[in-house]
Every structure is written in C-alpha cells, then in structure tokens.
Amino acid sequence: MTRIFVPADSLALALGADDVARCLSEELTRRRVKATIVRTGSRGMAWLEPLVEIETPGGRVGYGPVKARDVPSLLDAGLLTGNGHALLLGPVNELPWMSRQTRLVFARCGEIDPLDLEEFRRLGGFLGFERARALGPAETIAQVTASGLRGRGGAGFPAGVKWKSAADTQASRKFVVCNADEGDSGTFADRMLMEGDPFLLIEGMAIAGFAIGASKAYVYSRSEYPRANRIFAQALELARRAGVLGERAFAPGCGFDIELRVGAGAYVCGEETALLESLEGKRGMVRAKPPLPVHHGLFGKPTIINNVLTLASVPWILVNGSDAYAAMGHGRSRGAMPIQLSGMLKHTGLFEAPFGMTLSEIINDIGGGSRSGRPIKAVQCGGPLGAYFPPSLFDTIYDYEAFAARDGLIGHGGIVAFDDSADMGEQARFAMEFCAIESCGKCTPCRIGAVRGQEVIDKLRNGERTQENVALLEDLCQTMKLGSLCALGGFAPYPVLSALRHFPEDFRPRSPEKEQVP
C-alpha cells in the first residue's frame, strides 16, 4: 500500500502537521483511496514544514510547506504518485539541503516512524551495540577514543577519555547520565533526535553502559520538551518489552535500564554537576570539581555524563570504524556536527556536516542569507553564552579551536542570525539578565555581577559617563570570567564583550540629545 509520511515532530506540529494528517486521512476515506499515513520525526528543513512525503518507485518525493487546506488540491494533482503541484519539491534526498549533508546521527530522523523498532533494526539499528559486545568494553572505549569524538554538549571534552576514567574506577555501582537538558537558545538537535529516532539514543546509552560497566542510566530532559519526553518514554517501554533493556540487556544476569527524568525549568541544570544534584532531588547548585563525576558522580558513584548527540554518535563509530569517523572533520574537531540554524535566515533547521566549513558558507550558502532582506548584522554561535560574531568574522572555520581562537564557542551547535534591525546593546543586556535569572547563586561574581552588568549597560545606553562605564563593564566581565565556578557566570561576558567590541554604537543612547556630558 502507498505510504504517505507526515511529520509529528514538535516543530511540524506547531505549524499544523496534525491538521494536515487529519485532513489527509479524511480525504483518503472520502475518495475511497487506500494509503497509509506514517507519522515521522522531522528532516530538519523547518521552512518546508509540514513536509509531506510520498513513497514512489524513484524514492521519496516531498511537498511543502503543506497546510491542511492544500490537501484536496494535492490529491487532485496526484500526490499519491508524486505528481506535479505548486508545492512539489521533488525527491527529498536530492534537495540541496539534504544532499549536501553527511547524516550520521540523523540518518534515520524524519524518515521512519520513531517508535517502529523493526524498522529501526532493518535500517541498521543496534548493529553498533552488537559490535560493542563483540569487541568487549576495553576495545569499545578504544574505538571511541580513536574516533576523536568530543562532547557535543558544550565543552568538547574527548568522550573516550571520560569513558576510560569511569571504566577504570572500581565501584559497586556506576551510572551513565545523558544530558538532554538542551537549554541553549537556538538548539533543538537533542529534541529532534528524541522525537525522531529515540532508539538510537537508547543504543548509544547501552553501549556506554556496557563499556564502563554500568547497569543503570538516566536521561535528564527538560519540561519544555513535553512531546520529546512522551516519545522517549514510549521508546523505553518498547525497548524493555523487546528485551533490549531490562534484566538480560547485556547478558543473562547482566542487566541495564534507562530512566527518564525531567528538569523543572532551570538552565543551570544543564551544567553536569548541577544536573547530578537535580537528579538526586536537590536544588541545582553547581558542585566544585574535583572530585570529577567519573570518580564521584551521581549518588557518589562513578558517572559519565554525556550529551544526547555524543551518545548518539557512538553507534555509527562502532559500525563504520573509528578511522572512518576520524577521517572527517578539521584540525582537532573530528567527525560531523549537527549544526542548528535559526533566526533571520532563509533556511533554518538542522544540517549535519563534518567540521571545517566556514561560517560564511554556513550562513550564506546553507542558511541562504537573510530572510528579511536586511543584511545580517551578527550571529550568535554556541547558545546564550557564545559570542556575537559580525560578518567580518564569517571567515572563521567551524572547528572548536578556530572558534576559541576568536573568543567564540561551537557549544551545542546552535547558530542564531540577527539582521540589522537587532540592537546589540539590548542583546548584551539580555545576556546579563539571563545570567542573573538562571544563576545558581553559588558565586558572587555571577549572582551579583550579572545584576550589576545590566545596570551598567543601562547607564551606558542612557549616555551616562560613557568612558567610565565601558571600563567598569569590561572590568566586571573580567571578574565574572575569572571568579565564576562554572561557565554560566564564566562565559556570559563573551556575548557582552563581543557586542561591545563590534557594535559600540549600540551601547550609546538611541537619541543623541539624551547624551550627557562625561
């Protein structure tokens, strides 16, 4: 029977995908046409959502963006055979956005019913886990290390090194914790994966548990992702029923299970030690390190904490070999990164590609440049703690070290583009405001500094003692950088200082007559 694919990813739903699916189903019944509607995750082309696909002998053909009211005309035109219509896009895998990618983690996302375990297996699911079992824990970790895979949550720490430390620590219990607290504005890859291919994350976590000798794992997700949480919980249940999780997961008598926990709207709980506190049922206060979580983590036991994308990268590495992964990328940034584009770009969404493109290629070629017609003024990379880059820095190569050399951040892979209607003084103020709202309160430079930072920026924008207040703001940022325990207080200065350096005019009064004599 013909299959029609309609996404049920949060973003597609927010743009009316359920209405499209309902309308399709009603029209098919009315026309007495037999076809199956399969609900999938998203391919990551947000500007085409809801993207409806149809299976044809020549591959899957797409139409989008589809509104419910388009459904009758689509069927009239011959949707079921992939015929012409104003919304016809052609073969989905041949769209430039798709064909230019290297989809490792997102290979199945948007293509399959996320809760169809058989389909997951048919398309290579669990092969990585089987390979890990054949290799044994030590060789599995050696493969992850040799691949060069670095943490995709923000800090870019080598995953294999972390795993080895935990594996080498003797303890009665060990834990795997998946950080799915994806709080960075402009990032949504974790959400898309949990909604579009949840078994891949389960597989990655099982490999991690097997490698370090853990029998229990947690996923710490966020309350802002109700749909991702619902789908992931269902996937866990299906995996348990299939015996992938549970008492015999690794071998008879050698079990492994995953529990989903949900945060409560605190950005700082994405920081790994605050996350552990939260999992233990406490306030999300950052812990001083050492001890490192690999030695003394959840409930005092050795724990590895990895981002969703880090864990979900591992199955591919094991199936295809660490060399194949390490062969991709640039400098010390190996493999591919699911880049997430948002803001004032023509093409926004998820684009997975090896490290090494320039920012300009990403913004202008992939993102299609400005959507509003007004020039792009700046992009913020790496979430709310990442610097603002003006177009003069768009030659920067997408690579951890190249970004760091320019005070920038790859972070979790988000890139937010602002056109020239943006007020960078206001953005800088927001960086301080966000830090103040989300500070865990443990260190003074972060807790108090972020409040003072807002006041100083307000004064500057009121035209009060410009030189003095610029110096004060720079000094305050320096204190926050040096005196903060974690990257919330330690990195909030980067968006502020970059905005100040590249757009000083936005820190002056908007109307000149308000300027006071220094």
Partner 1 sequence: MTRTWNPELASREIEALTHLEGALLPVLHRLQEVFGYIPAEAVTLAASALNLSRAEVHGVVSFYHDFRTEAPARLVVRLCQAEACQAAGARAAAAALMGRLKTEFMKVAPDGSVVVEPVYCLGLCAAAPAALIGDRLLAALDGASLCEAVEAAL
Ligand X SMILES: Cc1cc2nc3c(=O)[nH]c(=O)nc-3n(C[C@H](O)[C@H](O)[C@H](O)COP(=O)(O)O)c2cc1C
Question: Residues interacting with ligand FES, by CB under 6 A?
Answer: 185-186
Nearer to ligand X, 203 or 272 (CB): 272
Q: Let me know: does 150 contact 333? Beta carbons within 8 Å.
A: yes
- Compute the Cα dihedral for 435, 441, 443, 447 and give only its sign: positive
Q: How far is CA 365 from CA 97, 213, 346, 347, 416, in A?
A: 10, 45, 10, 9, 15
Nearer to ligand FES, 372 or 444 (CB): 372
Q: Let me know: does 315 contact 200? Beta carbons within 8 Å.
A: yes
Of 386, 446, 395, 440, nearest in space to 416 by CA: 386
Q: How far is the CB of 185 from ligand FES (least distance, A)?
A: 4
Binding piece for ligand X, criterion CB under 6 A, among 66-74, 194-202, 421-429, 483-491: 483-491
Residues that bind ligand SF4 (CB under 6 A): 268, 286, 439-443, 446-447, 484-486, 488-489
Does position 195 interact with ligand X (CB under 6 A)? The reply is no
Q: How far is the CB of 493 from ligand SF4 (least distance, A)?
A: 11
Nearer to partner 1, 151 or 382 (CB): 382
Chain-centre distance of CA 388, in angstroms? 19
Instruction: Tell me which of partner 1, ligand X, ligand FES, none is bound by residue 454, counting a contact when its beta carbon lies within the kind-specific cut-off of 5 to 8 angstroms.
Output: none
Q: Let me know: does 105 contact 316? Beta carbons within 8 Å.
A: yes
Exactly one of 150, 191, 334, 412 binds partner 1 (CB under 8 A); that residue is 191
Q: How far is the CB of 51 from ligand X (least distance, A)?
A: 27
* Tokens (6 digits) for 34: 């037999």
Instruction: Tell me which of ligand FES, ligand SF4, ligand X, none is bound by residue 272, counting a contact when its beta carbon lies within the kind-specific cut-off of 5 to 8 angstroms.
Output: ligand X
Q: How far is CA 17 from CA 68, 198, 370, 417, in A?
A: 8, 20, 26, 26
Sequence-distant (6+) residues with CB within 8 A of 256 are: 206, 209, 210, 214, 215, 216, 217, 245, 246, 249, 250
Question: Across the strands, what pairs with 351?
Answer: 339
Instruction: Tell me which of partner 1, ligand X, ligand SF4, none is bound by residue 153, counting a contact when its beta carbon lies within the kind-specific cut-off of 5 to 8 angstroms.
Output: ligand X
Question: Across the strands, what pairs with 349?
Answer: 45, 341
Exactly one of 5, 316, 325, 430 binds partner 1 (CB under 8 A); that residue is 430
Does position 268 interact with ligand X (CB under 6 A)? The reply is yes
Does position 369 interact with partner 1 (CB under 8 A)? The reply is no
d(CA 382, CA 479): 22
- Compute the Cα dihedral for 196, 199, 200, 201 and give only its sign: positive
Fill in the amino acid letter for 261. Answer: R
Nearer to ligand X, 271 or 277 (CB): 271
- Interhelix angle 466-483/449-461, nearest 10 degrees: 160
Does position 225 interact with partner 1 (CB under 8 A)? The reply is yes
Residue found under tokens 């689509």: 74
Does position 364 interact with partner 1 (CB under 8 A)? The reply is no
Exactly one of 108, 131, 152, 481 binds ligand X (CB under 6 A); that residue is 152
Q: How many CB atoms lie within 10 A of CB 101?
A: 22
Q: How far is the CB of 162 from ligand SF4 (least distance, A)?
A: 21
Q: How far is the CB of 490 from ligand SF4 (least distance, A)?
A: 6
Does position 439 interact with ligand X (CB under 6 A)? The reply is no
Q: Let me know: does 443 contact 271? Beta carbons within 8 Å.
A: no
Does position 300 interact with partner 1 (CB under 8 A)? The reply is no
Nearer to partner 1, 26 or 420 (CB): 420
Residues making contact with partner 1 (CB under 8 A) = 10-11, 13-15, 44, 46-47, 49, 182-188, 191, 223-228, 259, 261-267, 278-284, 299, 340-344, 348-350, 380, 384, 414, 416-419, 422, 427, 430, 434, 438
